[in-house]
């Protein structure tokens, strides 16, 4: 059953990403939620379902959100009918949106608040961060004993991608520069200082060929969005953002068992999403591409059909993905510049896609944006999601 045009985002909220030791994680959640709910014209008591996504910095806080703390904090005790966590790592935004759209479509919920909050920058010790990204989505029996880590995982993909496509280190660095160009215009971004290719290339080597400024930066943050039916959406806003198409594939758990380290399943996911939306990549105005490391942004961009295989690096190097360019890519700065908030990295991309379509992106607003695509993936890139959003529903 297609969910095309059967659900709409009517409100978004987000707090700045970065290092905020004094800001409790629940505060990030509440403030983001309040912003999202305020964008709708009815009372907060209309929210009947809350979907928090998982938090990884602290098991106790995660359990609190799963079991309803956010309901109490928002003053909705006895009002909210359902509080249920949906978590698939960095792809949680895609899975949350589909679950919310399905609940709205079958009449099981009217207004759904989806949210995340995380405290990866200041809520974890150094060793805690190392342990987390050396074990999450990494097989205990087969990979952990050999020192597998997300940086080495990304290095494997980068080396293979360079070999297959001829992409250079400088072109990988250009992806980081492109994201920073957008982050310079984003008041919620962790890093807003200009960045050059030379700076990236001169930064410390982490895991060959990846350098420190090619790596995402762990951040504290939070964001939220409200989903309802198209009919109810019209009561709240003149510019709802409709779910038009989605495609997904899960391909592996252990990274060494992924059949193709430089493609994953984005091409198949994109084919499904564009077919459902009755659109083509050429119709898309804004591309919010998941970017935990530069190579994954190139893979998502190319495999989703926005350029041919191996051409992405040159487009990024030429500034075609910068503000004002032909291909506005990852317009919030992504995890490379806005900051990596765990599963929230993908939620932030969804919120940014909606923000652009609502015309609320300020200095980085893409002119006349009507259709947006965003990609996401979780764990050690175990799944591939492509989602199409729009301000109108094509026939």
Look up the CATH number of the domain holding residue 21: 3.40.47.10
Q: What is the pLDDT of residue 45?
A: 82
Full pLDDT tens readout for the chain, 395 residues: 899 999 999 999 999 999 999 999 999 999 999 999 987 666 778 999 999 999 999 999 999 999 999 999 999 999 999 999 999 999 999 999 999 999 999 999 999 999 999 999 999 988 888 888 888 889 988 888 888 889 999 999 999 999 999 999 999 999 999 999 999 999 999 999 999 999 999 999 999 999 999 999 999 999 999 999 999 999 999 899 999 999 999 999 989 899 899 999 999 999 999 999 999 999 999 999 999 999 999 999 999 999 999 999 999 999 999 999 999 999 999 999 999 999 999 999 999 999 999 999 999 999 999 999 999 999 999 999 999 999 999 99
Assess contact for 56 and 219: CB atoms under 8 A: no
In a domain, 266, yes or no: no
For every residue of 242-253, DSSP letters joined together read EEEEEEEEE--S
Tell me, yes or no, if the pTM score tops 0.95: yes
State which residues form the domain around 16.
Answer: 8-124+218-233
How far from 77 is each of 44, 202, 335, CA to CA, in Å? 12, 53, 34
In a domain, 167, yes or no: no
CA atoms within 13 A on the CB side of 180: 20
Compute the distance between CA of residue 168 and CA of residue 161 in angstroms, rounded to an integer: 10
Domain count for the chain, please give it: 1
Q: What is the pLDDT of residue 320?
A: 98
Q: What is the pLDDT of residue 41?
A: 63
Element (H, E) at 199: helix 197-202
Q: What is the pLDDT of residue 40?
A: 62
How far from 156 is each of 142, 170, 194, 262, 390, CA to CA, in Å? 16, 18, 28, 9, 35
In a domain, 164, yes or no: no
In a domain, 69, yes or no: yes
Q: What is the pLDDT of residue 195?
A: 98
In a domain, 385, yes or no: no
In a domain, 168, yes or no: no
Q: Which two tokens stand for residue 386?
A: 């492509």
Distant-in-sequence, close-in-space partners of 180: CB < 8 Å, separation ≥ 6: 191, 193, 194, 195, 333, 336, 337
In a domain, 182, yes or no: no
- The percentage of residues in the chain with a pLDDT greater than 70, rounded to a whole number, is 99
Compute the distance between CA of residue 179 and CA of residue 289 in angstroms, rounded to an integer: 10
Q: Which two tokens stand for residue 138?
A: 């990494």
In a domain, 267, yes or no: no
Q: What is the pLDDT of residue 146?
A: 87
């Amino acid at each position: 059953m297609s969910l095309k045009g059967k659900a709409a985002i009517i409100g978004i909220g987000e707090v700045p990403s970065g290092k905020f030791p004094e800001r409790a994680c629940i505060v990030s959640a509440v403030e983001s939620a309040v912003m999202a709910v305020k964008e709708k014209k009815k009372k907060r008591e209309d929210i009947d379902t809350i979907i928090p996504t998982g938090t990884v910095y602290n098991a106790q806080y995660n359990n609190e959100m799963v079991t309803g703390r956010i309901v109490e904090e928002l003053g909705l005790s006895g009002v909210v009918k359902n509080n249920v966590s949906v978590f698939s790592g960095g792809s949680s935004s895609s899975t949350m949106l589909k679950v919310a759209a399905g609940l709205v479509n079958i009449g099981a919920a009217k207004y759904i608040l989806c949210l995340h909050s995380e405290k990866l920058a200041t809520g974890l010790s150094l060793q805690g961060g190392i342990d987390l990204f050396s074990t999450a989505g990494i097989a205990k029996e087969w990979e952990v004993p050999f020192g597998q880590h997300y940086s080495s995982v990304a290095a494997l993909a980068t080396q293979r991608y360079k070999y297959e496509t001829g992409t250079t280190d400088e072109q990988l660095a250009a992806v980081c520069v492109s994201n920073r160009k957008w982050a310079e215009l984003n008041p919620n971004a962790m890093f807003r200082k200009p960045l050059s290719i030379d700076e990236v290339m001169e930064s410390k080597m982490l895991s060959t060929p990846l350098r420190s400024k090619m790596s995402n930066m762990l951040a504290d943050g939070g964001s939220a969005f409200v989903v309802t039916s198209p009919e109810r959406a019209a009561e709240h806003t003149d510019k709802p953002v409709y779910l038009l198409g989605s495609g997904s594939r899960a391909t592996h758990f252990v990274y060494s068992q992924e059949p193709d380290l430089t493609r994953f399943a984005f091409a198949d996911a994109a084919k499904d999403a564009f077919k459902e939306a009755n659109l083509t990549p050429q119709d898309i105005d804004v591309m919010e591409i998941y970017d935990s490391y530069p190579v994954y942004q190139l893979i998502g961009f190319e495999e989703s059909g926005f350029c041919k295989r191996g051409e992405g690096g040159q487009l990024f190097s030429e500034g075609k993905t910068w503000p004002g360019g032909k291909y506005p890519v990852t317009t919030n700065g992504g995890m490379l510049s806005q900051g990596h908030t765990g599963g929230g990295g993908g939620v932030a991309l969804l919120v940014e896609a909606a923000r652009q379509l609502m015309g609320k992106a300020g200095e980085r607003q893409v002119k006349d944006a009507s259709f947006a695509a965003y990609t996401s993936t979780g764990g050690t890139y175990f799944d591939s999601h492509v989602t199409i959003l729009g301000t109108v529903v094509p026939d």
